[in-house]
Structure 1
Amino acid sequence: MTGSGRGQGSVLLPSDFAQRGAAVPFTTRLLFFARMRHGANGTIEYLVPGLAGGLTTCVIPQGKIGETLSMTVFDRALMDELKELSSVTPAGVEQASLAVGITGLGGSRLLRRARDRKEADLAGTLALESLLVNDLLAALDADPVNFDGADLEGVRGLAATQLEPHAAALGSPIEAILSRIQQWVQIILPVGVPGLEYPAAYRATLADMERFAADLMEWLIPEPVGPAEMAQRIAVAARKTIATAQPPLDRIEEYRTSILDSLTNWDTTWAALRTEVESVSNIIDGWQRLIDKWDAVSRMERVDQRELVELFALYLPILPRKSADGNHEFWASIRENQNRWKDTVATSEMLATDQDIRDKIGAFKVERA
């Protein structure tokens, strides 16, 4: 069944991001495509595609997943962190993963990633606060400040000094204005600002997605028809996802271009920025996992790469109806193709299960991947 951009779209698609769930960066191989969400009764449930074969997804309650699968120490610690989330969002899951990663329980790679992210966020905070202060000074027809070499405390001190003569025009105490700028920075830290040289996490993922799409379009050239078609559709899906993320990114920038009004109407700005950043995080959720895995097999045999492409084709992140914009038919066609592809894809070693696991998962409800 295909859908159009009108009405509710295709029933083949998840209704919204809450139903799709947030991708969880588990290190246990069988949980590579796992997501989590709150179930109807408010408890956490994990969505694990591939366990039952084909396109079905096992829905496993929080308290049962550790009894069903042999999980790494990192994954068990991550589950403990995730239990504390009041709402399930990609940002919340990511912060829980970084908190466990920094402990070293996931090994040196995850420890390094958590440390790199911490350093990037510190650099981003410094760069963004400096930028927004100078944006505000420009809006006030005042000279910019040279923040070169200043630490965060120094940036805030210089900002207060330069903004003090403009307190009347700003209509609020300088301390309040600086507090709003700091809140602004913390909200947009993952998306950053175009051209600002620090590795904003979401913009880095979007750049990786475009690189991944380009890699796949080159990789598919010598491939047989089946894998080539899958690679091409994954690449198009990545690019359509990038395009879907662009409007909220543009709207975030619009608040910066009218910074005086944005700071004056701070409650409205604060809520809108949070909504737009959360929208970006939901749209790109799950793609970085695929890209990292693809990068890991880049020097392996082509047969290993082909197996990964086949898995990605079956379980790539599908945009929900409410976020697919005018691309309902494309995402519905991916669903239809998956029904056809599943019959040609052999069971991957990555998702292979033994009889004991198959017996255990028989008690859980299933839904479409």
Structure 2
Amino acid sequence: MKGAIEYAPSTFEERGAAVAFTTPLLSQTRVRRGDRSKLEVLIPALSQGSGIYVVAWKSVPEMVAMTMHDRYLHELIVGEETCSPHEIRRATLRAARKGLAGPQAAQAARRALDEDEEQGTLTHYLLILAILKAVGLESPEMLKAGIGTGEGQRLTRQLMTRAAGSLTLDATVLYTRLAEIAAVVSPVGLAQSPRPGRLLRCLNDLKSFRQAMLDWAREVPSDTSPVAAFCAEVAQHTIGIGDAVLTDFHRRIEAIGPLMRDWDTEIVRIRDHATRMAWLLDGWSHITGAWELAQGEDRHHQAVAINELFRILPLLPRAESGRDLMADSRRVQSVQRRSVRMLEDWRTGVMDVEAIRRIETLKARAP
């Protein structure tokens, strides 16, 4: 363990990716590649201390009494080549699917994987329609037959071969590029899609959360009010960047003809936008979900929830934000300590069963 450090990351990679552990102390802690590409986990300093504990990944099970689910997830993450939100989510769903966080979490993981597949199929279909429209080959017959039928697939192949000729591309190249775009776009979603992608839904949930925090800060005078206001501020900064990235992302995909012609340049930009959205929103789905669950509680328990969420708030790295949110966080923390519930010291090894239950309830929601 490197000890407590001042935590002011410059990049998303330095901030690390949030991990959905069920052990309360580790819940939503962040993992990143450190020195010599070795994994390390960032744990908020305890006992009302400041800074972050940087712990070697292999040492975590020796320091913290982890649930069986978390030990398995810990092993899965070691096997991942990179430490991006995509890889961490994939490992999280694999762990949850085993049923180690309860049957409801296992069902939610399977449902999330099924939804991912359905979203990919829908996105691919909409991209085919967009290509045909771009070259003036829209076909009511194909739509009537349905792309899932034999006749629909035959018509689609004919039209896509003609579309490839219009774009001066080989038909195989056109199909390959469409599949690649669909894989990149599907987690975000197309602007014209009847069902928004996972990241777009997360951004919309974040907008609701921001408003809820603003309402709390205004309507509930307490020590928690400035904490809620700060949560709303961080959410607003995240939303502002997300909306800008999303606008350019959708603009480039809608210009699908130029995208195909300038493939080498445009696919890199689209991929970068999708990756940036994933990093930008990493950790927020846990927060918005936890707040939604807290709506059934009284004001006291909601205040406790806000203080707990403040501890794991996904602050923007310096390179992404125009202001020092970390300094603002430290000022709010001085107020927050008067009302926040003390955490158990990790050295006691005591499991907070009630906290584990709340986290597993969150995992029962589709990630």
TM-score category, normalised to shorter length:
0.7 to 0.9
Q: Does 1:286 align with 2:283?
A: yes
Segments of 5+ residues of structure 2 without an aligned counterpart are 1-5, 351-367
1:353 pairs, out of 345, 349, 353, with 345
Confirm or deny: 8 A CA contact 1:187 1:274 kept in the other structure. yes
Deviations 1:9-68 (A, max 9, x none): xx9742111211111111111112310001112110011114353333211111110011
Structure 1 match to 2:175 = 178
Q: Percent identity?
A: 23
Q: CA deviation at 1:342?
A: 4.6
Confirm or deny: 8 A CA contact 1:126 1:152 kept in the other structure. no
Helix, strand or coil at the partner of 1:226: coil
2:329 pairs, out of 322, 329, 335, with 335
Distance 1:72 1:354, change over 3 A: closer
Confirm or deny: 8 A CA contact 2:223 2:336 kept in the other structure. no
Q: CA deviation at 1:187?
A: 0.7
2:87 pairs, out of 84, 92, 100, with 92
Higher relative contact order (CA 8 A, sep 6+): 1
Q: CA deviation at 1:147?
A: 6.6
Q: Does 1:112 align with 2:104?
A: no
Code of the aligned partner of 1:178: Y
1:254 pairs, out of 251, 257, 260, with 251
Structure 2 match to 1:22 = 17
Work out the CA distance in 2 between the residues paired with 1:89 and 1:251.
22
Structure 1 match to 2:44 = 49
Structure 2 match to 1:126 = 121
Distance 1:280 1:89, change over 3 A: same
Work out the CA distance in 2 between the residues paired with 1:286 and 1:45.
17
Q: CA deviation at 1:218?
A: 2.8
Confirm or deny: 8 A CA contact 2:31 2:41 kept in the other structure. yes
Segments of 5+ residues of structure 1 without an aligned counterpart are 1-10, 359-369
Work out the CA distance in 2 between the residues paired with 1:265 and 1:95.
31
Moved more, 80-89 or 244-253: 244-253
Confirm or deny: 8 A CA contact 1:191 1:201 kept in the other structure. yes
Distance 1:173 1:12, change over 3 A: same
Deviations 1:242-287 (A, max 9, x none): 1111222122212222211212232323322221111011111111
Confirm or deny: 8 A CA contact 1:220 1:228 kept in the other structure. yes
* Number of residue pairs aligned between Structure 1 and Structure 2: 343
Work out the CA distance in 2 between the residues paired with 1:278 and 1:155.
33
Confirm or deny: 8 A CA contact 1:314 1:338 kept in the other structure. no
Work out the CA distance in 2 between the residues paired with 1:111 and 1:33.
19
Q: CA deviation at 1:169?
A: 1.9
Deviations 1:313-341 (A, max 9, x none): 344111011111xx315x24523423423
Helix, strand or coil at the partner of 2:42: strand
Q: CA deviation at 1:78?
A: 0.9
Confirm or deny: 8 A CA contact 1:50 1:57 kept in the other structure. yes
Distance 1:227 1:52, change over 3 A: closer
Instruction: Please report the RMSD computed on the Cα atoms of aligned residues, expressed in angstroms.
Output: 2.4
Code of the aligned partner of 2:38: T
Q: TM-score, normalised by structure 1?
A: 0.85
Confirm or deny: 8 A CA contact 1:160 1:178 kept in the other structure. no
1:270 pairs, out of 267, 275, 282, with 267
Work out the CA distance in 2 between the residues paired with 1:121 and 1:30.
30
Aligned 1:193-272 pairs, distance under 5 A? 193-272=190-269
Q: Does 1:296 align with 2:302?
A: no
Q: Does 1:32 align with 2:30?
A: no
Structure 2 match to 1:70 = 65
Work out the CA distance in 2 between the residues paired with 1:158 and 1:237.
49
1:321 pairs, out of 318, 323, 335, with 318
